[in-house]
Amino acid sequence: MIAEIDVDLGAIRTNVERLRALVRPARYAAVVKSNAYGHGLAPVARALEDLADAFCVYGAGEALALRDAGVRAPILIMGPVEPSELPEVLAAGAALTLWDAGSFRREVAQVAHARNTRFPVHAKIDTGVTRLGFEPNAAGGAIAALLADDGLDVRGVYTHLAAAEELESSYTLGQLESFKSALAPVEALLREHSVIRHAAASAASMLFPALRLDLVRAGIATYGIWPSPETRNATGHALQLEPALTWTTQLVVIRDVAEGQSVGYGCTYRTTRPSRIGVIPIGYAEGVPRALSNVGQVAVHGSRAPIVGRVCMNMSFLDVSDVPEAHVGSRVTLVGRDGDAWIDANELATLAGTIGYELIARLPESVPRRYSEAAPAQTSSAIASAKSSVPS
C-alpha cells in the first residue's frame, strides 16, 4: 500500500441526518462535485440516495457517472456544459444551470425541441460573488423569458454566497435582499410554475435560517468538515459533525541521521540532534501539499511527528525520533485519528496555508478508497416517508 483513504459512509449519513433536521422544512441537496470532495462520487451518492432530495455536481461527466452508477435522484449541474454534451445530459434527466440569455440557452432549447421534450434548468443570479449569474437588475426579465420558452423547464432559481463562512452577516443578508429583489417582478410566475429557490451552502445552512429558503446545498459539512473555524465556533454545541475521511500511508524507510545532516531537496532542513528520519511513499503528486514542507505534522503510533525537509513529488520525510515504536511498515495518518493523536483536515490545511476544501478535493482519484458499510440511519425511514419530490 502506498496510501489509502478510508471513508466512513455511516458518518456521512449521520451528518446528513443532523443537517436535514437542522434546516427542515427546507429540503437537502448533497453537493458531490469534485469526486464528492475527495470521498468518492458514486459510493457517497449511493449511500445518500434515500436521505438527499437531490445531488449537485459541477460538470456533465459527474452527472452521467452518477446515472451510470444507478443513482436516480434529481441532479443539478452547476457549472458550464459543452454543447456536444447536451443530448446525453438531457437523456440523463439532469438539470442545467443557465446564467445568460445568449446562444447557449438557444442551443439547450434546440436540443430539447429536437427530441420533443423540455430541458430541465435552474437559473442563477449573481448577487455578489461576481462569477456566474444573471445581473440582479436583469434577472426578472431573463427568468420570464426562460419560463416562456417551451424548450425549457425552469425548476429552480438560485444564487451563491460570498462570505457566509466568514460570518459576514451584513454582506450575506445583503445578498439575500438582492436575490429577493431580483425575483420580485416574477414572484407570481415562479409560484405558478412551482419553481424552487435556493441560496445556502453549508455555512449559511447552519447559521442563517432566512437563507434556507426551499432547498439547501450542503457540500463540506456533508463530509463532517466545518466550512471554517468561525462557523464551528459560532455553531457551538448545536450541531455535531462526524469526520468521514481517514488518509493513511506507511513508513518505507527509516534512516539514522547524524546531527547537522541535510534532509531533502534544497537543504531546507538540517537535523539538530541525532535523528531517525522516516520516508513515506507519497508527495505532492499524491495530494500532500508542498507547502507542508517543514511545517506539517502526521500521526504515528498515537504520537505526532513533524514533516521535515521539502515534500517531494512522490515522497516525504518525517522526523520519528520521538516515536520509538516507529518501524518500516508503521501506519502514518495524515488525516484522521491514530490513538490519542488526531489530525483534522482543516488543521493540516491551515499548516499548508490553505483550507480543508482544497486539501481533500485534490486527493487523487488514483489513491484507493475503502468504504465502511453505511449503517441504517435511525431516522432514515421517517425521512424517506417525509421527503417530497424536488425538481431536478
In the set 33, 37, 223, 357, the catalytic residue is 33
C-alpha 103/C-alpha 107 separation (Å) is 6
Q: How far is CA 314 from CA 138, 241, 247, 329, 384, in A?
A: 50, 32, 16, 17, 45
C-alpha 49/C-alpha 80 separation (Å) is 25
Q: Tell the residue number behind the cell numbers 416574477, with chain if given.
A: 186
C-alpha 375/C-alpha 14 separation (Å) is 9
Give, to the nearest 10 degrees, the angle between helix 9-23 and helix 41-48: 50
Q: Could you tell me which of 221, 220, 251 has the C-alpha nearest to residue 334? A: 251
Q: Could you tell me which of 152, 143, 142, 129 has the C-alpha nearest to residue 197? A: 143
> Which residues contact residue 382 at a Cβ distance below 8 angstroms, ignoring those fewer than 6 apart?
none
User: What are the two backbone dihedrals, phi and then psi, of residue 118, each rounded to the nearest 5 degrees?
Assistant: -125, 145
Dump the DSSP string for 354-386: S-HHHHHHTS-TTS-EEEE--PPPTTHHHHHHH
Please say if 357 is a catalytic residue: no
C-alpha 279/C-alpha 298 separation (Å) is 12
In the set 158, 223, 265, 284, the catalytic residue is 265
C-alpha 298/C-alpha 296 separation (Å) is 7
> Which residues lie across from 77 on neighbouring strands?
57
Please say if 371 is a catalytic residue: no
Active-site residues, by number, are 33, 265
